[in-house]
Amino acid sequence: MFEWPKCKPVDMNSYDRKELFEHFCTFEIPVATRTIQIDVTKLKDYIDKNNYKFSLFMGFIIARANNRVQEFKYRIQDGKLVEYDKIIPAFTVLSADKKLYFSRGVYTDDFKNDYKENLEINRIAGLGQDKNVGSSNQGLVFITVNPWNSFTSLQFPYSSRFASVPVFSIGKMYTDNDRIKAPFAFQTHHGLIDGYHVGLFLDVLESHLENPELVTLK
C-alpha cells in the first residue's frame, strides 16, 4: 500500500548551513536553475533494447540520485526546515488527446517494481484519474520530459510554497559528434543546495547514464 514520504524537523542548532539557509530565505526568488547537456548514448541504447519508456527510466535515475544526496531530501514547510525519509517522483503525462496531466509516482529503489507501478500510475493519470495530485506533501520531485524541442536554458514556473522542491526537465535528443545528447534542466533552492551538492547529484546521474544496468542494483 502506498504511503506518502514522512518528514521530521531538522535541528537548526546543529545544522551547519543555518546561516546560508536564513540568508537565502530572505530572497524573493531563492532558487537556482541550471541547464546542462547530458550524454544519453548508452542510456538510449539500453532503453531501446529493453523496450523501456524513457521518461520512467530517467525518472527512476533522478529519484535515486535525489535519495542518495541528503541535501536533496530537505524541504521548507511553513518556514521550517524538514528532512524527508525518502523522495518520490511526480511526472507530467500527456493524454491521447494531448491534454497535460500530473501523476504521483512511487520509489522503493527496486527498479522492476517501481517501473511497473509507475507505468500503471501514468496510464491512469493519462485518463485524468489520478486522485493524488494536489497533496501538500513535499517529499517528491517534479519531472517532465519535453521531446519536441531542445534548449540551452529553461525557466520553470515559480511558486514560493513549493520553492524547495527540485524540478527537472529533459528536452529533445540531438546528435553531437556521433553522440546522442539531451538538454537537462533543474531547479533547486539555494538555501538548501549548493553547487557542491549538485555535483554529488550529477555524479549519481552520470554514472547511471554511462552504465544504465546500474538501475537493477541497489
How do the domains of the chain map onto residue ranges? 12-212
In the chain, the amino acid numbered 188 is T
Nearest to 82, CA basis, from 132, 133, 138, 30: 138
> Mind listing the pLDDT tens digit for each residue in 112-161?
999 999 999 999 999 988 776 668 899 999 999 999 999 999 999 999 99
In the chain, the amino acid numbered 40 is V
Q: Which pLDDT does position 135 carry in this prediction? A: 80
Q: Which pLDDT does position 194 carry in this prediction? A: 97
CA atoms in the 13 A half-sphere facing the CB of 150: 13
pTM (two decimals): 0.96
Question: Are 33 and 199 in contact, with CB atoms under 8 Å apart?
Answer: no
Radius of gyration of the chain from its Cα atoms, rounded to whole angstroms: 17
Positions in the chain short of pLDDT 50: none
What is d(CA 33, CA 70) in angstroms, rounded to the nearest whole number?
19
Q: Which pLDDT does position 128 carry in this prediction? A: 87
Question: Are 5 and 63 in contact, with CB atoms under 8 Å apart?
Answer: no
Q: Which pLDDT does position 129 carry in this prediction? A: 86
- Superfamily in which the 12-212 domain is placed by CATH: Chloramphenicol acetyltransferase-like domain (3.30.559.10)
